[in-house]
Amino acid sequence: MVFKDLKHELAEMRKSMDKITMELHETNIALRESLKMTADSIREMSENFSKSLEQTLIAMQDMKIQMDIKDTIIKSLGIEGILPDFLKTRKK
């Protein structure tokens, strides 16, 4: 009888261990998927930020070139002191 009770307890422990193992496995899968989604989101945000930064830098560089050309033309025409400041820079 004692052997039978012990055998039953061991079987119940095995079932519990199997259940815990399965739950841990499912938790591991959920965590892995969550971390992958987070990594993908961070990678996408980083790529978008880099593209936006590059476009902004190009636009700023183009604007500086335009202003330099405008200043050069104004200086070469000798009208640097004649034009009011609001006509020298382009406002958007």
More confident call, 84 vs 65: 65
Ranked by mean pLDDT, the top range of 31-45, 59-73, 78-92 is: 31-45
State the pLDDT at residue 91: 47
Asked if residue 86 has pLDDT above 60, the reply is no
Q: What's the rounded mean pLDDT across residues 51-55?
A: 97
Domain that holds residue 69: 2-88
CA 85 to chain centre: 41
Query: What's the total number of domains in the chain?
Result: 1
Q: What's the rounded mean pLDDT across residues 56-64?
A: 95
Categorise residue 71: left if φ over 0, alpha if ψ from -120 to 50, beta otherwise.
alpha
Length of the chain: 92
Question: Cβ distance 67 to 89 under 8 Å?
Answer: yes
More confident call, 91 vs 20: 20
What is d(CA 69, CA 87) in angstroms, rounded to the nearest whole number?
14
